[in-house]
């Protein structure tokens, strides 16, 4: 079966950052799966995988535009120190789990953000993807392709509505 919209795809993959250092990989039990055609992977990756079959491999270099996006300075956020508690020890480079809420204040999930600056009154965290603004190398092998179930498709559509796409 070929990868087309509404197929569930399982990939063994590797991502190398712009310096050639392994950023992330998934093989076997650590493989990733996604439903093709919904932007769950960077646009350049989905485009390269379109029409591929089990056993096919892709290797591509992604620019920020086709990969993880440009670095957005507006996603450097200030968190008042009081929100973390006075006894919380935080240093530059630490990763903090931050709750993400919708416009009504309902918690939608949690995102890891990197601490980029620490001041006595505030902590600055970066909400950009860690690879934002970088050109990266992506390699993958298609491990499985099948039609996504109605439940899996509903989950993707629900996620799209939550994200206001």
pLDDT at 163: 47
Q: Is 120 inside a domain boundary? A: yes
Together in a domain, 17 and 58 = yes
pLDDT at 164: 41
Q: What would the two tokens of residue 109 be?
A: 């999930």
Work out the angle at residue 75's Cα, subtended by the Cα atoms of residues 73 and 23, and round it to the nearest 5 degrees: 95
Together in a domain, 106 and 146 = no
pLDDT at 84 over 90: no
Q: Is 41 inside a domain boundary? A: yes
Provide the whole-model pTM.
0.75
Q: Is 139 inside a domain boundary? A: yes
pLDDT, tens digit (0-9, with 9 covering 90-100), for 2-15? 999 999 999 999 99
Average pLDDT of the segment spanning 50-73: 96
Greatest mean pLDDT range, 80-84, 130-134, 154-158: 130-134
Q: Is 2 inside a domain boundary? A: no
**148: CATH:** 3.10.50.40
154 contacts: CB under 8 Å, gap ≥ 6: none
Q: Is 19 inside a domain boundary? A: yes
Q: Mean pLDDT over all residues of the chain?
A: 89
Together in a domain, 95 and 122 = yes
Among 14, 24, 20, 127, CA closest to 71? 127
Average pLDDT of the segment spanning 25-50: 94
Q: Which domain holds residue 82?
A: 73-126
Together in a domain, 25 and 99 = no
105-113 LR contacts (CB < 8 Å, sep 24+):
108/162, 113/77
Q: Is 64 inside a domain boundary? A: yes
pLDDT, tens digit (0-9, with 9 covering 90-100), for 87-145? 678 899 888 887 777 778 777 777 888 899 999 889 999 989 889 999 999 999 999 99
């Amino acid at each position: 079966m070929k990868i087309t919209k509404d197929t569930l795809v399982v990939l063994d993959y590797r991502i190398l950052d712009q310096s050639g250092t392994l950023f992330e990989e998934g093989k076997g039990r650590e493989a990733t799966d996604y439903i093709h055609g919904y932007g769950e992977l960077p646009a350049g990756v989905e485009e390269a995988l379109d029409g591929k079959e089990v056993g096919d491999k892709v290797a591509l270099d992604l620019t920020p535009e086709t990969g993880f996006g440009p670095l957005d300075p507006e996603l450097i956020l200030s968190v008042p120190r009081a929100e973390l508690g006075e006894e919380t020890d935080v240093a530059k480079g630490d990763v903090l789990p931050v709750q993400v809420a919708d416009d009504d204040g309902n918690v939608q999930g949690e995102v890891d953000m990197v601490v980029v600056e620490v001041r006595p009154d505030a902590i600055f965290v970066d909400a950009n993807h860690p690879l934002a603004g970088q050109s990266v190398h992506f390699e993958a092998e298609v491990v499985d392709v099948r039609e996504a179930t109605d439940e899996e498709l509903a989950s993707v559509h629900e996620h799209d509505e939550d994200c206001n796409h």
